[in-house]
Structure 1
Amino acid sequence: MTRLFQIALACLPLLLSAASTAIAAEDAASRAAEAAGTFASTVLEAGEAPGLSIGIAHRGEILVVNGYGFANLEHEVPVTEDTVFRIGSVTKQFTAAAILLLAEERRLSLDDTIDAYFPDFPRGGEVTIRHLLQHTSGLHNYTSLEGFMAIAAPLEHDEARMLAYIRSADPLYDFDPGTGWSYSNTGYMLLDYIAARAAGMPLADFLEQRVFEPLGMTRTRIDTAAEIVPGRAQGYDVVEDAPGDFTNTTHLSLSVAAGAGAMRSTPRDLLVWTHALLGGEVVSQDGLSLMLAPARLIDGSLASAARATQGGSTNISDYGFGIMTGERGGHRFIGHGGSINGFNASLMHYPDQDVTIVLLVNTIGPAARGTPVLAEAVFEALAPADAD
């Protein structure tokens, strides 16, 4: 037996193992793609959305990034894997990460009170950056003000104008800072301005330099309506009681969403982001722990417990810094949803299955809320791979 033959024979098990692994990965991707396609077909056939895009990753490997339906109905432009969607409040975890990066560089502290940034803000000495991140500030949500769409949304707002609008809420506080929990876009709008002060540049530029470019997220930015964005989807509204019929959505100035919900992205970029964030490549491990830690009130109790008492529900997720954690359908999750005029988004990571699912839709409606249904189908499709 020649030496060359002996080496080849010794390497054979490794080659067979590598081939088997490659085949298994290909099979897993095929099964996941089939599950995604079935889900998308159901959504489109029911007339719930003009188009959608789905991304699926398993064990850090991207298995599926596919588009379905139309990104633009008037020109019959199909959704592709590169179609750009607005992602609404999924933006919040990026704003939170920017704040943590600035805190790690000691350019701000999570315990800073907001009067350091907005000197004449009512009760600003009682509200911390941490409160804003966790929705425990008590500040009334400006997007729920009566007449918001008619007064604020169509107009371009600079910081001074936006702060004046926020302060027009009566009452300005729904509860004393730190004593309750209430989802508030107001907090994340203020965080946008705080980040800009600390960074010495707009939040959009800071994220581009420190997050998007290093991670290769080429299709992700804080959106502006004026910018020419190749492949950007048009947003639509569902015609009431007429499934499958849509109208162009009402215009929304993204200046009133900013760090609370103005970003655009694609499934691939969001899969890359989630893998990097949870892998400790964006903020430090201590910072990541803070992002995922459940919010607590000043008495030390979980904010989610207070929410359950107030709302009478036992299916309440915890909130960290721009990220929700909890369990639904017996599956632990880490993620966030987003809704903004004409668009729905869902970004969920399931740590027990090591699966990340992105669902982007160009209308507000039931489609993006179907993520748990899609997740179950994906888990079933990937079960053979998990058993390996």
Structure 2
Amino acid sequence: MKRNRLYKAFLTILICLVMIGINYIPVDISSHASDEVFLRHLDEFVPRLMNRYDIPGCSLAIVKDGDLFFYRSYGYSDREKGIMLTSRDPFRVQSISKSVTVWGVMKLVENGRVDLDSAISCYIDISGFKDGGNYLKSVTVRQLLTHTSGLQLGDVFTVYSPGSRMPSLQEKLRDEVSFINKPGSSFSYSNTGYNLLELLIEEVTGRSFTEYMESEILIPLGMTNSTFDLKESMIPYVPTGYTLKGKPVPAYVYPEKASGGLLSTSRDLARFMIESMNLGSRDDLVLSEDSIAAIHYPQVSDIGIYSLVFDSYALGHYVEELSNGKIALSHGGQGTGIMTHMHFVPESGDGIIILTNSQRSWPFISHLLRDWAVWRDFDPIGMTRIIWGEQLMIALVGLVWAAILFQGEKTIGIFKLTTLARRDLNGMKCLFFILFPVVLIIFLFWCYKQRYLFITTLFPTAAVQLGIALFTFAIITIMRAIITCRGIIKKSKEEWFDEAGKEI
């Protein structure tokens, strides 16, 4: 018996290790490798990763020592049409927009037109909002910028075709301004909060958000291929997005822009990063050094689930403290069919932009961040923990397949006449071992039908493998329970007839 358990434990471990080994992608670059070696590594590694995670297209830009070092695009802008992605194609960069929107707000702060710690009711009319008379009147500009306003996340699924009829910003906000926490009490990521800042900018300046951001921020930064307004002439060049299931998503728009409406290229975002690093005094800064420092200064340390990969949140940026004392700043974005990420270390002048047209990209982004950090000799940055999470998920897949193997072994044994009399499962246990896998199958079907599942987005490949393994396990368990129950029923009938014969 003990020997059998040791055998099963050894086999389970072996299966898990084999699964991890098959799926593991080792680091294939050394720290301080030459520029030529790293670029050659990218040209080999990026397409291989894209193929593994089924990502149609990726646009990269890398900043080194405060200058644009490299930018290149890989794969397809539209896979079905065979259109290749170019570095000029503007991506909807999703929530990286927030990091740029902060600059628009801070420009008003510099000019004395907005105060970070004043209530937004000083700048916009809140009487038309559902919660206008309660929490909303006390929410400050800083709380909106740091996601501590208590506002809900907001609608992240509704998109509109360019040129179609859609609600105005005010109409959308009237529906979405709703509180889940008391303002200032905790961190709660909110697109709605940033969209209120869009309204604030329009009310204070008397200009459209797009016009203000272009004239005051984007053009002065040299981001000439960036805009918050999808123009008709741009539509053919916007990459087609792809959902978790690979469904193509044509170019779309939102009624709101500040939280996720920026269209930009990796090269333009690299310019934004370079300006954000502020390496030395210049006379042509779009924002002062003090304003940039204020943007990067940590504001909230308890950031909930985001603490798994970051240490705090500043104004429109996540903050990560590296062991060498340097600070890394970042922000990612995801929407229907798109995933993006920006990561930079101001003190060293290093940064990376990753834009993809797939919602399957978190592990892909994490692997690129890992290799970039190794090359530049940084700590393993927090986002690389997604890689370890993926390996744990793969190990779990191995455990399930080991369980399937042992269940299958018992199921085959049940077919033998010599085992039909065994009572390792009584009637109630048989019922449980039928109902449990049925419920599991129903749950897996529900997961499959969901438009968005966090775990599937985080581990797109491993989650599918786990789903297949669990489905197989459920089927094997049902088979074993049914066969065993038939054996028990047959045995009970034989025993009843034997006893009845003895009585006669």
**1:360 and 2:355 are equivalent in the alignment:** yes
Matches for 1:1-388 after TM superposition, within 5 Å: 28-116=34-122, 117-120=124-127, 121-123=132-134, 124-143=136-155, 149=158, 156-167=166-177, 172-224=178-230, 226-229=232-235, 231-239=237-245, 246-249=246-249, 252-256=252-256, 258-279=257-278, 281-295=285-299, 303-305=300-302, 307-308=303-304, 315-327=309-321, 332-351=327-346, 353-365=348-360, 367-381=361-375
CA distance in 2, matches of 1:188, 1:160: 13
Unaligned ranges ≥5, structure 1: 1-26, 240-245, 296-302, 384-388
Query: For each residue in 1:81-120, what CA deviation from the matched residue of structure 2 results, as whole angstroms up to 9, or x when unmatched?
Result: 2122110000001111100001111122212212230231
Q: Which amino acid aligns with 2:52?
A: A
Counterpart contact for 1:137–1:177, Cα < 8 Å? yes
Q: Post-superposition shift, 1:373? A: 2.4
Q: CA RMSD in A?
A: 2.8
Go from structure 1 to structure 2 and tell me whether the alpha carbon gap of 1:285 and 1:198 turns closer, same or farther (over 3 Å shift): same
Q: Post-superposition shift, 1:74? A: 2.7
Counterpart contact for 1:49–1:238, Cα < 8 Å? no
Go from structure 1 to structure 2 and tell me whether the alpha carbon gap of 1:132 and 1:152 turns closer, same or farther (over 3 Å shift): farther
* TM-score normalised according to structure 1 size: 0.78
Report the secondary structure of 2:239's partner residue: coil
Q: Post-superposition shift, 1:261? A: 0.3
CA distance in 2, matches of 1:312, 1:135: 12
CA distance in 2, matches of 1:285, 1:343: 32
More helix by share: 2
Partner of 1:4: none
Query: For each residue in 1:173-220, what CA deviation from the matched residue of structure 2 results, as whole angstroms up to 9, or x when unmatched?
Result: 221111111000011000011011112211211111112222221211
Higher RCO (CA-CA < 8 Å; seq separation 6+):
1
Q: Post-superposition shift, 1:75? A: 2.2
Sequence identity (%): 24
Flag the structure with larger Rg.
2
More strand by share: 1
Q: Which amino acid aligns with 1:286?
A: D
CA distance in 1, matches of 2:186, 2:205: 30
Q: Say how many residue pairs are matched.
A: 332
Query: For each residue in 1:242-262, what CA deviation from the matched residue of structure 2 results, as whole angstroms up to 9, or x when unmatched?
Result: xxxx22127753214x10001
Go from structure 1 to structure 2 and tell me whether the alpha carbon gap of 1:39 and 1:72 turns closer, same or farther (over 3 Å shift): same
